[in-house]
Structure 1
Amino acid sequence: MKTLLVVVFSLLAISILADEEGMSPPPEDGVPQLTDVAAAEAFINSDDVAVVGFFKEEESYGYKEFVAAAKEVKPIPVGLCSDKEVWANYSITSDTITIFRKADDSQENLQLADAKKVDADGLIRFIKMNNIRYLTEYNQVTAVGLFQSRVKTHLLLFANRGSVNYSKLQKRLAALAPEFSGKFLFVLVNGAVKGNAKSLGYFGLTSRDLPRIGLYDSDLDKKWLMAKGEITKDSVRTFCKTFLDGELQKTQQAGEPEAKTEL
């Protein structure tokens, strides 16, 4: 009897909290319903990346496929919204799957009326491709999202997963990245992955040379390496600022032969 009362009061508390926050308890499919603007804003701001399915009703085209995809992309937060005020707040006019990203201040919309075919696997790829975080690990899927972003300059951390300082450097760069939101995309390239050897080679590096910091600008199609030494927040911050100030562009590219000097 005591256990039953605990369960009843727990469910009641969850229901009250959800009503106060404008977020309905997750249904059986596990996807929370965002019922007002405040709830939607809190949800979207809860992580570097958040996904919202804006559907008028459960019978809408793509709804079931979206719910199925949501189960496969954890821990990326995924929500549902049918509230018209929320739709207007984010300029949504028809059933749409939207990915909100902080790293490049982006709202990526997939309007379902324009999609010839919608299936769960395709939506999973769309979400994972656009899972661009303050520090994004480079792979064949995220590469598409990285190069489609409006932010064309990438700050690259080349490091071997499992090395002594790997986790420390990962956290350090992730903490610094918000300072340069909208200016750089911070990217982690795992040098221990054979498939990344080409990326390392583009900068004249091998896995034995790591960790190193590089910078690539796709508009200029140019690359630079930060000088060897300890990788700190201050040193990377300074490196980034030399690019923003235009000083780095005047220096030699990574991988270029050094200029010969007449003696």
Structure 2
Amino acid sequence: MLFPLLFPLLLSTASATETVDSAPLRLGDLKAAEAFIDSAEVVVVGFFESEESRGYKELLDSTKRVTTVPGAICMDKEVWAELGVSSDTIAIFRKADNSQENLVLSEAKKVDADGLVNFLTINEVRYVTEYNQVTAVGLFNSEVKVHLLLMVNRGTKEFTQLKEQLAALAPEFTGKLLFVLINGAVKSNLRSLGYFGLTSGDLPRVGIYDGGSDMKWLLPQGPVSSERVRSFCHAFLKGELKAEKQAGAQAKSEL
């Protein structure tokens, strides 16, 4: 496998690259709820009967700690029904894969702020998600099993430019591919590069990993342009890469 499927549940928050107001909004109707869900790449909504409900105070605490994920509260049962919620639930909404991840509180054995911080951070999948042990859990739990991988060394002149290029391209493939950034300058990511027959000195490169078939392909060497990456993605979706030789075919077969 390209990445391990199981990781320890880490209680530390992901490092924030941007911050938002962590005080949850009150959503009084469907229009407000839809506008809030559409306001950011990842949001969390607590659907509670009242402020005394199990998990209410813990959600407030966790959203103050995970400042990259905007939070809101909804007590309107009509909105619940429209969003597929029938009991007290904490739900994460993601644009990258059109996903709604529900934590039904009546089914949770334990509800505390640390656990909710963990729930938020492992499910914080974005249009471009930087791979690490925390984000890997959310990536592999997603129903979208195909990953477009940008493998590049942080600190190089290409890093920011290529990340921005992919961030602009990713919405075109919502629900079809997840865009993942692998920092080749991190020692723990060398194993992932090796799966493609690459080292950090070979970067930047772009690949596709299909978690359903455990197959992978590399975009041929050359400029990493939006046009080439877009064509590469469409070639995969059309099935045109299936017959091509897999990336890293001559590399060791076990990680």
Of 19, 37, 41 in structure 2, the residue corresponding to residue 44 of structure 1 is: 37
Paired position in structure 1 for 2:205: 212
The 1-side partners of 2:194 and 2:80 are apart by: 46
Offset, 1:32: 1.2
Aligned-pair distance for 1:244?
1.0
Q: Going by fraction, where is helix more abundant, 1 or 2?
A: 1
Aligned to 1:197: 190
Measured after TM superposition, the shift of residue 86 of structure 1 is 1.3
Query: Quick one: distance in 2 between partners of 1:244 and 1:84?
Result: 39
Is contact 2:197-2:250 (8 Å) kept?
Answer: no
Report the aligned-residue RMSD. 1.3
The answer on whether the counterparts of 2:185 and 2:200 sit within 8 Å (CA) in structure 1 is: yes
List per-residue Cα deviations over 1:43-82 (Å, max 9, x = no partner): 1001111110111111101111111001011121111111
Which structure ranks higher in relative contact order (CA pairs < 8 Å, sequence separation ≥ 6)? 2
**Residue in 1 that maps onto 2:18:** none
Alignment correspondent of 1:134: 127
How high is the TM-score relative to the length of structure 1? 0.86
Aligned length: 231
Q: Give 1:257 shift.
A: 3.0
Q: Aligned residue for 2:89?
A: 96
Secondary structure of 1:124's aligned partner: helix
Task: State the percentage of identical aligned residues.
Answer: 59
What is the aligned counterpart of 2:158 among 165, 168, 172? 165
Instruction: Quote how far apart the aligned CAs of 1:194 are.
Output: 1.1
> Are 1:84 and 2:77 matched, yes or no?
yes
SS across alignment from 1:140: coil
SS in 1 for 2:181: strand
CA contact (8 A) 2:44 2:70 kept: yes
Consecutive aligned runs of 4 or more in structure 1 exceeding 4 Å deviation: none
- Whichever residue aligns with residue 171 of structure 2, its letter is P
Alpha-carbon distance in 2 for matches of 1:140, 1:232 = 28
Counterpart-to-counterpart distance in 1, 2:136 and 2:240: 27
Unaligned runs of 5+ in 1: 1-25, 259-263
